[in-house]
Structure 1
Amino acid sequence: MTPVATEDLRRQNTASVLRSLRHDGPATRTELARRTGLAKATVGTIVGALVDGGHVSESDAVPASRGRPGRPLVLTGGMLVGLGLEVNVDYVSAVAIDLGGAVRLERTVAVDGGDPYDVAVGLAQLAAAELTGEGIRLTGATVAVPGLVDRRNGVVAMAPNLGWRGRPVADDMGEATGLPVAVENDANCAALAEARRGATVGLGQSVYLTGTVGIGAGVISDGAIVRGTSGFAGEVGHIPLGDPAASCGCGRQGCWEASVGLRAVLAAVGVSEDGTPLEAAEAVSRRAAADPGAAETLEGVGVLLGKGVATMANILNPDAVVLGGFFVPLAPYLLPAVVREVEAHVTAAPYATLDVRLSTLGLRAAAAGAAEEALTQVFTGATAV
């Protein structure tokens, strides 16, 4: 076997051990050998290197049915971190997550005019400097963007609400930060975060709906993002479910997001677009609490939102649909109508329950998922620890 092939095999075997510890939890060397199918001697060698590198630690011994007590290995991974960034119209978020799943940094910055890309570059540079200053090694960064993303080339093909077309974000941000950079759709990242650490942990099939200026869907099947043939799956904000006369940022009329997106909701209840989507939604909630007409308007938004959720459920048959972003603080006004529409229009409803859940990760869901995605190279063996 050539040295290159030997190194590739070592990375793959190491990645198998890391994945097992991350997704299946602590295990003894014997249990790891059983889980991964690797020889005990191979696992022992890998674990020794991971312990020396500070990526794995041994916990207290636990009694065994036969033989010596085992010492479970725990994935710490504190010195190897993935950086995730979300670029949106009103804000930019950064989240850094280490191999063990611990959040090492969280930041959200409002975009006050100008190009959100410039804010994202500045935030990425600050985050990278802070993390590396602590002796942390960054595996790379993933940028989550609301639009059509050409992942292979690192290009944002179209992000109407940002005004981007054909923007080479991966190359540009990589040059600005000195990091390997990938680009991914924001809904895909948020859906991955909810599946790994949020509302849909343990579910096989789920859909996440962004609740920002644009409406996109991230689809998870058996723990993996469903991207479609060209990587453009999930652009549900542009299906014709909205008011036929409503103009959308994509240039068309009648798009779903033109009726249930943040700007549409703010305009409908007469609230100005200030701060982050969550702050704007809180202002809408206060208006609805004092104004029955605003509350009735939100119920109408909930009906349209529910029709879209029911449509996706009939096509994809997921275990759950997660409402994220500004939908969460407005849930008291939106969710009853959404549930009624789901019960009325989902064909499988009498036979299989569809859960409509609220995001548990707030505005940082997409950035957290992007950080998880940035670690993928390690967990697949493409990058050595």
Structure 2
Amino acid sequence: MAGVPTGTEHVRRQNTGLVLRSLRGQGPATRTELARRTGLAKATVGTIVGELEAAGAVMQDDSVPTGRGRPGRPVTLTGESILGLGLEVNVDYVAAVALDLAGNVRVAETRPVQTAGRPPSARELVDLATDVRTALINDGKSVIGATVAVPGLVARDNRTVSWAPNLEWEGRELAAEIEGHFGHDCPTTIDNDANCAALAEASHGVTTDVQHSLYITGTIGIGAGIVQDGALLRGGAGFAGEVGHMPIGDPDQMCGCGRLGCWEASVGLRAMLAAVGMEEHSTPLQTAIAVAARAADDRSVRDSLARLGHDLGTGIATLAAVLDPSVIVLGGYFVPLGEFVLPAAAEVLAARLPSAGIHLPEIRLSSLGIHAAALGAAEDALADVFAGTVAV
């Protein structure tokens, strides 16, 4: 990956990013069509397509005949060997997703973290990241960058974990650690896990059809990713979405952050398990699947989940009154338990949202499973290529 471009090189990369975004967002097109879409000269598009084809980022369909009066050959975004690596570290699992330029998932892997109830170190994340990246490189792939999703606050430098109470990390320079294990040849950034998952839903999941959405994580921690006009809403310090610590939970419940009454302490994974009297499994999804199976035959478990749904709805209504999303997405452990928590949450949302009679946000369940945050992180790892700030 080259350094910061200047002059004509900067313009060339910007134009290349424009072509790549058109192919990714609008699909295959001839050079003439690409020129019309992007506003670039056809000769410029021809040069860019030639360079991208040489780099293995696009291909042209040779089966389409060309000539006078005939259409040109469609250009298709492939980029099968050009990958972004998305990683996630959470309290009880780590995950990795490798995504190519065309948006195809090439690798998706999750490993449980064996910590005997203690917060994880970075060792499990490092092992997974290096194993996946090494396998990709050995397979002839190029990993142009990595992004790590973390359940906490990320500094403006996108390299430092400012505060992640459930991991007991504060001021940790995680990006530099991972880069070191990569041999300093894979630029790495970090981002909040809910932000990453919200991006994944907007590009691959259940919010591809809307511009304004609110994603709620469902793990031990509770966070939110806010998408407005297709972009993340980050706030003044970049900390927007730390909703798990809103003081709207049970005032007698202690949160992992050390405060009483956080929303997370009432609707987080461990709060749910305490309410139903069950043990945690290796990942939040596996835990929720086991709880759902018990709930099918146990009225007391169903009642406990309905009460949790009520508390969930209270927080959602509060957020919806401020943010006015078109869609609210529930991710993580909420997905397998949707039939047991959604009715109560939706009822409270309709009752508590002042604007419900005019506009009531739709609540949807995530379709991306446990890899949502890692998938969004992989998209983020490719973002500079599509922005034209990094050469293919």
Query: Shared topology, TM-score over 0.5?
Result: yes
SS at match of 1:120: helix
Establish whether residue 32 from structure 1 lines up as the match of residue 34 from structure 2.
Answer: yes
* Residues 310 and 346, structure 1, Cα contact 8 Å, conserved in 2: yes
1:49 corresponds to which of 48, 51, 71: 51
Residue matched to 1:276: 283
How do 1:93-112 and structure 2 match up within 5 A? Answer: 93-112=95-114
Task: State which of 364, 368, 376 in structure 1 corresponds to 2:371.
Answer: 364
Checking the alignment, whether the CA contact within 8 Å between 1:91 and 1:116 is kept in structure 2 is no
1:344 aligns with 2:346: no
1:307-328 Cα shifts (integer Å, max 9, x gaps): 1111111111111000000000
Displacement of 1:30:
1.4
- Aligned: 1:139 with 2:141: no
Is 1:260 the counterpart of 2:262 in the alignment?
no
Structure 2 CA distance for aligned equivalents of residues 54 and 222 of structure 1:
31
- Contact 2:211–2:230 (Cα < 8 Å) also in 1: yes
Give the deviation of 1:355 after TM superposition: 1.0
Q: 2:220 aligns with which of 213, 219, 230?
A: 213
Q: Distance in 1 between matches of 2:211 and 2:158?
A: 29
Contact 1:314–1:347 (CA under 8 A) maintained in structure 2: yes
The superposition leaves residues 36-95 of structure 1 with CA deviations (integer Å, 9 ceiling, x where unpaired) of 11111100110111112221112354999x942232211001111000000000000000
Residues 84/151 of structure 1: CA separation in 2 closer, same or farther (3 Å cut): farther
Q: Deviation per CA, 1:82-118: give whole Å up to 9, x if none.
A: 0000000000000000001111111100001162411
Whether 1:180 aligns to 2:225 is no
User: Comparing 85-94 with 173-182, which one deviates more in the overlay?
Assistant: 173-182
Equivalent-residue separation in structure 2 for 1:13 and 1:352 (angstroms): 40
Does 2:199 align with 1:192?
yes
**Other-structure match for 1:15:** 17
2-structure distance, mates of 1:52, 1:76: 12
Q: 1:167 aligns with which of 163, 167, 172?
A: 172
In the TM superposition, what is the alpha-carbon distance from 1:153 to its structure 2 partner?
5.2
Secondary structure of 2:125's counterpart equals: helix
SS in 2 for 1:190: helix
Q: Distance in 2 between matches of 1:117 and 1:224?
A: 29
Q: Distance in 2 between matches of 1:4 and 1:304?
A: 53
**Aligned residue pairs, count:** 382
Give 2:319's aligned residue.
Answer: 312
Do the aligned residues in 1 keep the contact of 2:85 with 2:147 (CA within 8 Å)? yes
- Pairing of 1:237-248 with structure 2 (within 5 A): 237-248=244-255
What TM-score results when the alignment is normalised by the length of structure 1?
0.96
SS of the aligned residue for 1:167 comes to coil
Q: 1:226 aligns with which of 219, 233, 249?
A: 233
Q: Which residue of 2 aligns with 1:322?
A: 329
Match of residue 286, structure 1, among 289, 293, 301: 293
Counterpart among 91, 94, 100 of residue 92 in structure 1: 94
- Aligned counterparts of 1:43 and 1:209: Cα–Cα separation in 2: 41
- Give the fraction of aligned pairs with identical amino acids, expressed as a percent: 56
The code of the aligned residue for 1:155 comes to: T
Q: CA deviation at 1:239?
A: 0.5
Matched-pair contact (CA < 8 Å) for 2:156–2:237: no
TM-aligned CA deviation for residue 166 of structure 1: 0.6
Q: In the TM superposition, what is the alpha-carbon distance from 1:365 to its structure 2 partner? A: 0.1
Normalised TM-score (structure 2): 0.94
Answer whether contact 1:212 1:262 (CA < 8 A) is retained: yes
Tell me which amino acid in the other structure corresponds to 2:124: V
- Stretch deviating more after TM superposition (23-32 or 137-146): 23-32
CA contact (8 A) 2:66 2:73 kept: no
CA contact (8 A) 1:62 1:72 kept: no
Asked whether the equivalents of residues 151 and 184 of structure 1 are also in contact (C-alpha less than 8 Å), the reply is: no
Over aligned residue pairs, what C-alpha RMSD do you find? 1.6
Partner in structure 2 of residue 333 of structure 1: 340
- Equivalences for residues 117-132 of structure 1 within 5 A: 117-132=122-137
8 Å contact kept, 2:52–2:58: yes
Report if the CA contact (8 A) 1:121-1:177 is conserved.
Answer: no
Which position in structure 2 is the counterpart of 1:152? 157
State the one-letter code of the partner of 1:103. V
Answer whether contact 2:350 2:360 (CA < 8 A) is retained: no
Provide, for residues 126-146 of structure 1, a one-character-per-residue CA deviation record: whole Å limited to 9, x for no partner: 011011111111111100000
Distance in 2 (alpha carbons) for counterparts of 1:360 and 1:308:
22
The amino acid of 1:166's aligned partner reads G
Structure 1 unaligned blocks of 5 or more:
none
Separation in 1 of the partners of 2:352 and 2:271? 24
- Aligned AA for 2:154? V
Structure 1 segments, 4+ long, off by >6 Å, are none
Structure 1 residues 22, 62: CA separation in 2 closer, same or farther (over 3 Å shift)?
farther
In structure 2, relative to structure 1, the CA distance for the partners of 1:62 and 1:368 (3 Å cut) is: farther
